[in-house]
Structure 1
Amino acid sequence: MKIKFLAMALFVALFSVVSSAQEINCKTTKSEVFKDEYKYSNIVLVEEDGNGGVFIVRWYRGGVFSSGMGYYFEHYDSNLKLIKEFEYEMKYSEVIKQSSVIGVITNGNDVSLIDFVYDKSQGAYICSALTSNMNDFNFKSKELFRLNSEEIKQFSFLSGGGFDKDSGASMIINEDKTAFAVTVDIKDKKSETHKLYLFDSALNKKIDHTFKRDIKDRKFIYENIDVSKDGNTLYLLGKVFTDEKKKKKDGGRYQFELTQITKDSEKTQVFDTEEHYSRSLKTIIFQDRLTCIGFYSDKNDNRYKGISYFELDPKTLEIKKTKFNPFTEQFMIDKYGKDKDKELKNLSFRQLLITPNNEIVFNAEEFYITVHTYSSPNGGMQTRTIYHYDDIVSAKISSAGDIVWARNINKRQATSGDESYISYTSTVKGDDTFFFINTGEKVKKLSKDRIQFGQTSTKKSNFNVIKITPNGDFDYQELLDDKDNEVPFMVSDGAISGNSVYFVGRKGKKKQLLKVTL
């Protein structure tokens, strides 16, 4: 069967009447084009140096013909001129059978790679910090904790295939980057069990806790873990399928459980989405409130009607507000035009952004996978897996839990190769929300107040910015034309620092850095 791959044009519905694209105040700065020894690279850390320059840490790995994995540490001035660089290759002894750097954190001028390995000779999983000052790059290892291999549920470091999504080890850094948590799924047939560790950025252990819920693992879906702003408290959110909830006639037959964990205590709040379905929720921690936000539906878990909002006291976990905000009429017009008798599906959470007024910008994307089977020239059968990144959904929620605006960016993007060049990166500056998107053609004005973007590819990729104003109006601008770029930029892997967003461009081993300052 013949596949029409990436043949569909990308349409974006205009959010307000457009006579012409307005100037968006953005400054772009490019580094020189350079070549790495290794093909694949992406930014894992950006830290401003206080003098207008920036420290950038890039993870790399080789391709088919150049094995290797490690990190590039680079110091650039304000014009992205390279001042200093250092390469740190990850090398392990033969007794290390699995390994993964699960995160990177800084403390002043020190940078730490948090490494999680399986040491066969010791029969243990060991979590260590590889720390160096960014002036001398003399890395030293410090063990943070270890677990007997028999305690840990089997998992894959490199993929989640065949395992539940909370298996393995993961690292979470708080908003102020003063503390981080490491969570490890523990083997237990009767109970959902996790080991939770909390450290400050100086690698001092603050919490060593075993979380256990008396329910089978498959009936407890791990949503997310957050670290408080002061770095002293953990919040674990789970979706739990209990026998009691099975008897519900309306809404989701499950409950959400938010557990607060401190050095000396554990406390849990249970809340239900009543007659609605909330497929998943995410926690957002403020100084004086704790919120859980997600999409809800009144029909089933695959079609969404609006945004659910729960507000809790961060100390007592008392539920203070519960709201179910239906999508606005403007949002439905954005997505479907006059035909509003439809609902969203396949939404995948992407980002939570906080404005200076403590409003929440909640971003998601319609993501799904299709597998196509066709006959090969030699008479056999082949399959191709295609990853689809369709409409972007963005909504601003006030500090009172109400929708300020909700917008839909209509698009069609798909790939069976590198996904880094499609999708998007988003950020906020002040009350404005920005999206960075690649497209293959010039933006064209169409009838009925619409604009159109062509499909993007690594061979032709224009770099665009989309802006949503405080009242929900829309603007757009092409920042970089494909013919002026030596490399296409990996738009979904942007790294944010202050008022700037950093991207890596790649074409083979050829690389370039891009800074967009808002």
Structure 2
Amino acid sequence: MKKIFLITACLLVTIAYGQSKKFQFKMGTEYGLPKKAADLSFFGNEKDGIVNLSLKKDELYITRFNPKNLVQTGEKVIELSDATKNMNSETVVDFNQKYFWLRSDWDKNTQKEILYATSIDVKNGKISDQNQKIIETPKLAGDAVMTGLYRYKKVNKFDFNFDADHSKLLVSYRVAPESKNDKTSFDKIGIHVFDENLQKIWGNEFTMPYTEARMDNADFSIDAKGNAYLLAKVYDSETRKEIDKATGNPGYHLEVFKFTKDNKQVIHATVSVDAFFIRESTLIENALHDMIIACTYSKNAKNKGTEGVFLGILNTEGKVDGYLKGHYKFPLSELEKFESARKRRKMEKKDDYEIPNLTVRDVVVEKDGSVFLACEEYYIMQKSRMDGNGRFTYYTTYHYEDILATKIDASGNFQWIKKIPKRQEGSRGRGTMGFKLISDATGYYFLYLDNLKNLRLAEDETPAKHVDGLGGQVFVSKLDNNGNISKELVFNTREEDIMIFPSEFSKINDKQFIGRAKLKKTLFKPLLITVN
């Protein structure tokens, strides 16, 4: 076990450019982990403590901290003797301060996929002795990843979703198809619903009414009654044509599939997309227990851009309402901000400009029925450069750029859209890039690393670049409920000589978020953010 290095007291971070009234940062004692140990999650509470869960192969590391001063109070290394090389850590579930670690494994002897639930005792920094098998099923579909030379394993086999009240958990999966021919194979979807003690309420497997060639799964969701839902893109034919040549309209539509405890038949409702092309779609329950459909859309199937967002509501009677009034086009006047003069001229020349590379990151359905969407410009580029021998080498860069935030009120009226400029670039995946959304009754806060030059950026200026791994300043951009923007510099990582990863922070209560600051390859500190 790697030695843990301690410092005698917790460090309360001093903000270099003035103390933030809204945010406080607190760092704790150093702790060490082996090389390539994966950070699974930070979680806990003010009463019992804070725990960091990390994993390397078949060893689980539980590091506990005092919740008030973040001084380390213990560490345990637990060998998972029953784990195979196919084991995957899936997620950590927090049910009102009841914590469960979910992991999956493939049993070659029984030819079964197994999902285990392990209860975590935060107060004492340990796990339960018994692993609870909560799902056992035939081989599942997933994504293959390389684990070594000529070795790979499947990941992303399960999806996890909570209802709006966070009292029920939906675990869903897709059984591996028997036939490789998508035109003759029908998806079999597993649906399992659990209560806050991770006891199964109900579960079943459903055969979908369309072949794999005609159907793409988009998003799963669950309501307060334990009914499960799937939002899917259904093509008009197995040729999977995006455009109907006869009409020029989309060659597909959206459908919402409903799965219930007492009915083995799949119930489904159609959402007409008319002449609009869907980019991304999300299904989420609101406070009134209606299912909200939130999508980005385009008028042009070929340019892969986004014109705006639209909303639909699947009510408790299984009908889709409000779809036709739910289209909200992004105004060009907002999209032009923080762009070069040349880019603005190009945008104005196009009759229907659509923003490229837009990805939906967060959808928040408020208690009053209003909907907030946070999107980010994200894309990957392949680049080349000449080495010392005159040969070209190729490398990949990842780009996390401007944020677009949209608010639509409970009556379905478009309130505002705001652009938050940033330009993050790196070559190692997400790393320190991206953002963390923190919301409360006063508005929405975007936590991210940025270049200091962007603190006071005029609307006719373009943002300076922040390079992943090279320090950076922690910015918070706030949008209040009326769409007013303010920006604040709250922390300088270069002064502390650390790296932080804003998008990976975990929410432990309504006011606090925790993640880790990286000092060296194997040395870290817990970092607690408190929202006042």
Q: Same fold (TM over 0.5)?
A: yes
Distance 2:38 2:497 in 1: 17
**In the alignment, does 2:321 pair up with 1:327?**
no
| 1:514 maps to amino acid | L
Q: 1:22 to 1:514 in 2, by over 3 A?
A: closer
Who is 1:287 aligned against?
287
* 2:523 paired residue number: 510
Partner of 2:12: none
Per the alignment, residue 8 of structure 1 pairs with: none
Quick one: structure 1 residues 382 and 54, their matched pair in 2 at CA, closer, same or farther if it must change by over 3 Å? same
What displacement does 1:321 show?
4.2
Q: Alpha carbons of 1:449 and 1:156: their partners in 2 closer, same or farther (altered >3 Å)? A: closer
Structure 1 residues 88 and 476: alpha-carbon distance in aligned structure 2, compared to 1, 3 A threshold: farther
Aligned with 1:305 (options 304, 307, 310): 307
- Specify the alignment match of 1:421 in structure 2: 432
| Mapped pair 1:139 → 2:136 | no
User: Structure 1 residue aligned with 2:198, among 194, 200, 203?
Assistant: 203
Counterparts in 2 of 1:481 and 1:181: CA distance versus 1, 3 Å: same
Matched, 1:29 2:31: no
Q: List aligned pairs for 1:413-492, cutoff 5 A.
A: 413-445=424-456, 452-492=463-503
Measured at CA, do residues 318 and 273 of structure 1 come closer, stay the same or move farther in structure 2, by a change above 3 Å? closer
Aligned to 2:258: 260
1:183 to partner: Cα distance: 1.8
Q: How many residues align?
A: 483
Distance 2:21 2:415 in 1: 22
In structure 2, distance between residues paired with 1:166 and 1:60: 15
- 249, 252, 256: which one pairs with 1:251? 249
Partner Cα distance (1:251, 1:24) in 2: 51
Distance 1:373 1:453 in 2: 22
Identity, in percent, stands at: 16
CA displacement at 1:154 relative to structure 2: 6.4
- Residue number in structure 1 paired with 2:167: 178
Q: 1:22 to 1:449 in 2, by over 3 A?
A: farther
Partner residue of 2:71? Answer: 81
**Alpha carbon RMSD of aligned pairs, Å?**
3.1
Q: Shift of residue 212 of structure 1?
A: 2.1
Question: Following the alignment from structure 2 to structure 1, what is the Cα–Cα distance between the partners of residues 479 and 235?
Answer: 38
- Provide TM-score, normalisation by structure 2: 0.82
How far apart, CA to CA, are the structure 2 residues paired with 1:234 and 1:157? 29
Aligned to 1:222: 217
Q: Which runs of 5+ in 1 are unaligned?
A: 1-19, 62-66
The alpha-carbon deviation at position 312 of structure 1 amounts to 1.9
| Maintained 8 Å contact 1:464/1:480 | yes
Say whether the 8 Å CA contact 2:471–2:497 is kept in structure 1: no
CA-CA distance at 1:39 after TM superposition: 4.6
Shift of 1:427: 1.6
Q: 2:99 aligns with which of 111, 115, 120?
A: 111
User: Match of 2:306, SS?
Assistant: coil
Cα offset for 1:257? 0.9
> What is the TM-score normalised by the length of structure 1?
0.84
- CA shift digits 1:164-214 (9 cap, x unpaired): x99722332334432222222121542122112112132222222222223
Change in CA separation of 1:504 and 1:315 when aligned onto 2, cut-off 3 Å = farther
Deviation at 1:406?
A: 0.7
Q: Does 1:367 align with 2:378?
A: yes
- 1:241 pairs with one of 211, 235, 239: 235
Q: Deviations over 1:423-476 (max 9, x none)?
A: 111121113110111124354535567585541432322111111122111111
| Larger mean Cα displacement after TM superposition, 482-491 or 21-30 | 21-30
Q: Measure, in 2, the Cα distance between the counterparts of 1:154 and 1:445.
A: 45
The 3-state SS of whatever aligns with 2:452 is: coil
User: For 2:161 and 2:267, how far apart are their aligned partners in 1?
Assistant: 20
- Residue 38 of structure 1, CA deviation: 3.8
CA contact 1:240–1:256 (8 Å) conserved in 2: yes
Instruction: Give the whole-Å Cα distance in 1 for the aligned partners of 2:335 and 2:94.
Output: 43
Distance across 2 between alignment mates of 1:344 and 1:304: 5
Partner of residue 207, structure 2? 212
Give the AA of the match of 1:239.
K
